[in-house]
Amino acid sequence: MKIERTGMLLILSGPSGAGKGTLGKMLLEQDDSFCFSVSATTRAPRPGEVPDVDYHFVDDRRFDELIGQNAFLEYATVHGNRYGTLRGDVENRLRHGQNVLLDIDVQGAAMVMARMPEAVSVFILPPSFTELRERLVKRGTETEEVIDRRMANARQEVGQMDIYQYVLINEAPPEASFLKLKSIVDAEKLRLSRCTVTIDD
């Protein structure tokens, strides 16, 4: 018997600071069937971010060009900056049986779910809003004003989580939450609709 699988598109969303980046990184490190979809953004790079690894950093003109070329699977404005998932990258990898991780916001996720209903979607919650704010402050990469905006956004995003298939609370340390994410992923790899089974005698 043989099973061949088409790639899985995994959407991870959740408020900024909920730890979806950390969980996503753990998944990429520990499961080499996954690759990361590098988004285009008009946001300025943060210290330590590597162009074309963390994001493709582009200006507004280039972002508009990409929209005009229908290059995005989805795009959205988040916290005042524009972000988009490059369609070609994602479709190519899925076609070759690779699993693809998307770290995107709720608006983008809704668009991907409508276009690719077979996508697997997981919403990551922080233990509380108080802890979320503490994490954002500790991160030290944002101003007070940006943190306030992200907190307002967080409440809004949490209010929209009903469209996701799975939800988990990311308590520190992240290892236990990662195991939950891993069990979702491992079960979804066995979903028959993503498998072609060859029956041998």
Interface with ligand 5GP by CB under 6 A: which residues?
16, 39, 43, 74, 76, 78-79, 83-85, 103-105, 107-108
Could you tell me which residues come within 8 angstroms of residue 31 by beta carbon, excluding any fewer than 6 positions away? 99, 182, 185
Cα–Cα distance measured from residue 151 to residue 155, given in angstroms and rounded to the nearest whole number:
7
In the bound state with ligand 5GP, the residue whose beta carbon lies nearer, of 8 and 109, is 109
C-beta of 136: minimal distance to ligand 5GP in Å? 10
In the bound state with ligand 5GP, the residue whose beta carbon lies nearer, of 8 and 89, is 89
C-beta of 76: minimal distance to ligand 5GP in Å? 4
In the bound state with ligand 5GP, the residue whose beta carbon lies nearer, of 76 and 194, is 76
C-beta of 127: minimal distance to ligand 5GP in Å? 18
In the bound state with ligand 5GP, the residue whose beta carbon lies nearer, of 25 and 79, is 79
Buried b vs exposed e over 107-123: b needs ≥16 C-beta within 10 Å?
bbbbbbbeeeeebbbbb
C-beta of 200: minimal distance to ligand 5GP in Å? 42
Cα–Cα distance measured from residue 172 to residue 37, given in angstroms and rounded to the nearest whole number:
26
Residue of minimal CB distance from ligand 5GP?
Answer: 108
In the bound state with ligand 5GP, the residue whose beta carbon lies nearer, of 34 and 83, is 83
C-beta of 3: minimal distance to ligand 5GP in Å? 31
